[in-house]
A and B are shown apart, each in its own frame.
Chain A
């Protein structure tokens, strides 16, 4: 077994915080201030692409919290991400107002198309940004609470837990594909126009979204780190290794797992809410089981059990995917599989283990 030394951890922490701050400042500056011809200037497209990577990093962070620390391999985090995305997408749909194809002042196009007369109750409130953001956290959190309560109370662990989470995201995918659900069926939600009254295509909004993503990722990272450094974190770490010892010390293992799972689901929801305005669409495809498996691969490649490693893994793989799918799209899944195999076999600590390098024991 390898262990990361406190020193290496501290260095990784400073490096991660520094990088995120630099990105939050440097990316908008280079997009907004530098002339487009400059080789350091980032196009608006690149800004959104980087923003998307950071959303993935936040999602990986969320999964690492439950998998890397609490030892629960959730293969349903794509569902929490998508739910957060839908909550934000609903707000963005409401922002379209009467500018839709059918010009209905109240109803989104797909509802007009379905001949609906009025907005379903569960769309109420989504014309407020803060309500939508709150729902992007609370809906995934509530689902995780219910699901986790059922699972942890009856001590479902290991591979059974993973399979149940896959089933959860699959069921949600089927549900969201249905037009009658009122979330746009298989087209999902798209053709967004404004966010908070500003044009989403403008450079300033894209930069603003990027900065928000970078700072929220930073805050989430620091929050997770703080949480793991408390006695709460020690208990979580302990229960991954010796669950019954924790239980016989008088800790309620199920409540600890539940708290971690809910917090993690909320972070995934936040990631989804930040993702949708930057890519401009959310559809039921985000619920597909494969997406959730891919998140686990990011974490494994980056280094399970190291927060910065998980984030790094997501960015590396997402960037590789962008490059490879542009040229050889049919090869991507094979490349991903090969990468996963290589890392599991050769780098049990992932990329973070390679970088951290030092073993304390």
Chain B
């Protein structure tokens, strides 16, 4: 691995790479082919847990492989603090904490100049990590709008077809939205 590039990526992730050097990266005629692996290594070195990262999906969230006795048993969403949100095919927001801003005073706390989404029509939903209270997602949505599943990656295609390193636990089942399984279970609890 190009150590110089790894250091650049580390600084880039921290927002500390000087702008002229970021521009150098932008101007590269061909990107470094190992970027993805370098990036994962940089990210993996920053967390206190050992589960193998498969993909970063947000500032604090990663899809990781869970193993038992050397065998992959699941792929879950995990916060850098270590909190796990369960199977990545289920929208991680459903396992988060939520706080909703509905009134003008509540909105003014984050839209401080008084220019804001209209509380008559919209609410601001903030999703926090149950482990570290980091704000992981925000939605400004009409009342009653389903929580949005932001990103469902096709990991098997990425690793096999685009990266050339197939995952050991490939299955067509991995690229499926399973969120409704959880909401169905919730519905059963209340009915």
Instruction: Please say whether chains A and B are actual partners in one complex.
Output: no
Report which B residues bind A (CB closer than 8 A): none
Seen from chain A, the residues whose Cβ lies within 8 Å of a Cβ on chain B are none
